[in-house]
């Protein structure tokens, strides 16, 4: 059952259980940012560094989502737009730095990538399971689900890259995965921005009707 509970309007996050879930997910993402940033530096992995940046962005944007709960629809949509723009910037940054690393020497340490990838995947799968019932909410709530889903996909890709690096003895799999993650960030940014723009265009009267429906 989704968090919409049978109503036609989108779930806006005003549920104490959802707030508790967000606090847990924020703490998990902040912890994994530190772990993956250190692991990415140790392993020399662009994919791990991109995933670490994703954890940091998620921790910050989830905090914004938590703060925005209960705000008017237009205000929540503006917060979602800010998150969409941050995802857009992150995707472009990962894309640019990955292209720059294409000319750089050095082979990532596949063992470190694999171990940290497993830990990160377990963390994100836990977040996805906690957020599953809230995946069809408004732009603010929806953006949280999309970010968590992206993280789990990214972790699987990092683990696949670790195996490919070990098999091929080249850095190409690591760089390819980083580029794929960049594309995922950009796609999600487009989804969030489209939905937030649509919600910002809704008249205040429609929002009031939703709140009292």
Location of structure tokens 């690393």: 101
At 102 the three-state DSSP class reads coil
Give the pTM. 0.67
Sequential DSSP letters for 6-27: T-SSPP-S--HHHHHHHHHHHH
Domain-wise residue ranges, the chain: 16-212
Predicted local confidence at residue 105, as pLDDT: 53
Task: Give me the architecture of the 16-212 domain, per CATH.
Answer: Up-down Bundle (1.20)
Evaluate whether 140 touches 76 at the Cβ level (below 8 Å).
yes
Q: How far apart are CA 193 and CA 85, in angstroms?
A: 7
Residue-by-residue pLDDT tens, the chain, 213 positions? 333 323 334 666 667 888 888 899 999 999 999 998 898 888 888 788 878 877 887 888 788 878 877 778 788 788 878 878 888 888 888 888 777 766 665 677 888 888 888 899 899 888 888 888 777 766 667 777 777 777 788 788 888 888 888 888 888 888 888 888 888 888 888 888 888 888 888 765 444 444 444
Predicted local confidence at residue 204, as pLDDT: 54
């Amino acid at each position: 059952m989704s968090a919409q509970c049978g109503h036609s309007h989108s779930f806006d996050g005003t549920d104490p259980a959802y707030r508790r879930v967000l606090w847990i997910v924020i703490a998990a993402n902040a912890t994994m940012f530190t772990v993956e940033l250190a692991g990415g530096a140790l392993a020399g992995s662009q994919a791990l560094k991109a995933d670490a940046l994703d954890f940091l962005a998620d921790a910050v944007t989830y905090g914004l989502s938590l703060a925005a709960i209960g705000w008017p629809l237009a205000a929540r949509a503006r917060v979602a737009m800010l998150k969409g723009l941050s995802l857009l910037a992150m995707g472009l940054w990962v894309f640019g730095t990955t292209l720059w690393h294409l000319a750089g020497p050095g082979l990532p340490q596949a063992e470190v990538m694999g171990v940290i990838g497993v830990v990160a995947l377990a963390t994100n799968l836990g977040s996805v399971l906690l957020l599953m019932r809230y995946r069809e909410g408004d732009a603010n709530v929806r953006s949280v689900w999309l970010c968590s889903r992206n993280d789990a996909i990214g972790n699987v890709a990092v683990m696949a890259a670790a195996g490919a690096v070990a098999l091929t003895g080249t850095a190409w799999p690591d760089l390819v995965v980083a580029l794929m993650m960049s594309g995922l960030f950009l796609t999600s940014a487009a989804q969030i921005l489209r939905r937030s723009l649509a919600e910002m265009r809704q008249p205040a009267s429609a929002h009031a009707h939703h709140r009292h429906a």
